[in-house]
Amino acid sequence: MTDAATDTILAVQHLTMRFGGLVAVDDVSFNAKRGAITALIGPNGAGKTTVFNCITGFYKPTVGMLKLMHADGSVYLLERLFDFRINKFARVARTFQNIRLFQGMTALENLMVAQHNPLMRASGMTVLGLFGYSGFASAEQAAKDKARYWLDRIGLLERADDPAGSLPYGAQRRLEVARAMCADPVLLCLDEPAAGLNARESAELNELLLFIRTQHAVSILLIEHDMSVVMEISDHIVVLDYGVKIADGAPQAVRDDPKVVGAYLGVADEEIETAEAEAGL
């Protein structure tokens, strides 16, 4: 193992995803650094969410390798794990573009559900819990404390016992992030966390994400449309367009990349060439 390898939490290698004849993601490779915020950006239909769904086990990639490396050196091949196992074993947690909270359950319950697996073990796969095993009570108290910590962190402690569906939109976004954090992930994947947020909410979210990265040493991979969010908090940016990676690097470098500008503003290829010529490339 080289230093570079241990420094990397997620290595995406030659990821290709086809739906019938449509190639949604075409041979994309990139690395996400441990303890960093990596952003995946690109115009609509660039294949960002598909990459995400491959990483989080909702799609099985057609071709490619997704290597997740824990700090203790254990390696998980995500394309071979599927479904709930990605979260349970590889400890990758995610949020969704169209917030998927358990609407009818309270904020606290949402965070408790996220701690399902450890609680299940503590309740002796339900059997011990059913007969009032004391070890379960303490495990549940610990889970509640953890939930309380995150609720406090996202400013929702007061509304812990309110149904998630009745919370304001911005609060729901934060709650979904907190829920993912309660699953104790090593890699947190956020699908457009700032979508639909106003400037203040967006700033709060940035703060939360930076807090998660620095205080909890959790690596973050996020999809984002909002360039201000991306530029402000990302350490590393990967740009996709039509399923192909067109740029990969530090925020400043990516922002100045004419190909990225072209993809976002929709300029023709010749214009890119002119732009490149003007930029002295």
Q: Which is nearer to another protein, 108 or 260 (CB)?
A: 108
> What is the residue type of 79?
E
Residue whose C-alpha is closest to residue 86's, from 111, 66, 71: 66
Question: What is the distance, to the nearest Å, from the Cα of residue 258 to the centroid of all Cα atoms in its chain?
Answer: 27
3-state secondary structure of 156: coil
3-state secondary structure of 30: strand
- Stretch of residues binding another protein (CB under 8 A), selected from 67-75, 126-134, 215-223, 260-268: 126-134
Residue 116 interacting with another protein (CB under 8 A): yes
Burial class (CB in 10 A: 0-12, 13-18, 19+), 280: exposed
Residues 52-111 that bind another protein (CB under 8 A): 53, 56-58, 83-88, 93-94, 96-98, 100-106, 108-109
Residues 167-186 that bind another protein (CB under 8 A): 168-169, 179-180, 183
Q: Which is nearer to another protein, 119 or 272 (CB)?
A: 119
Helix (H) or strand (E) holding 51: helix 48-55
Decide: 224 and 58 in contact? Cβ < 8 Å: no
> What is the residue type of 123?
S
CA distances from 271 to 129, 155, 212, 265 (A): 67, 48, 41, 11
3-state secondary structure of 235: coil
Looking up tokens 């976002």 gives 264
Closest distance to another protein from the beta carbon of 236 (Å): 24
Residues 232-261 that bind another protein (CB under 8 A): none
3-state secondary structure of 2: coil
Q: Which is nearer to another protein, 96 or 242 (CB)?
A: 96
Q: Which is nearer to another protein, 45 or 168 (CB)?
A: 168
Closest distance to another protein from the beta carbon of 101 (Å): 7
Q: Which is nearer to another protein, 133 or 264 (CB)?
A: 133
Among 5, 71, 77, 130, binds another protein (CB under 8 A): 130
Instruction: Please state, in angstroms and rounded to a whole number, the distance separating the CA atoms of residues 17 and 134.
Output: 48
Tell me how many residues contact another protein (CB under 8 A): 59
Taking each helix axis from N to C end, the angle separating 169-182 and 199-216, rounded to the nearest 10 degrees, works out to: 10
Burial class (CB in 10 A: 0-12, 13-18, 19+), 113: middle
Neighbours of 279 (CB within 10 A): 10
- Stretch of residues binding another protein (CB under 8 A), selected from 30-38, 164-172, 232-240, 264-272: 164-172
Closest distance to another protein from the beta carbon of 100 (Å): 4
Which token pair is 241?
A: 């367009």
Closest distance to another protein from the beta carbon of 36 (Å): 22
Q: Which is nearer to another protein, 62 or 235 (CB)?
A: 62
Closest distance to another protein from the beta carbon of 250 (Å): 27
- Stretch of residues binding another protein (CB under 8 A), selected from 28-36, 49-57, 250-258, 263-271: 49-57
Question: What is the binding site for another protein (CB under 8 A)?
Answer: 19-20, 49, 53, 56-58, 83-88, 93-94, 96-98, 100-106, 108-109, 112-117, 119-120, 123, 126, 129-130, 136, 140, 144, 148, 151, 157, 160-163, 165-166, 168-169, 179-180, 183, 192, 195-196
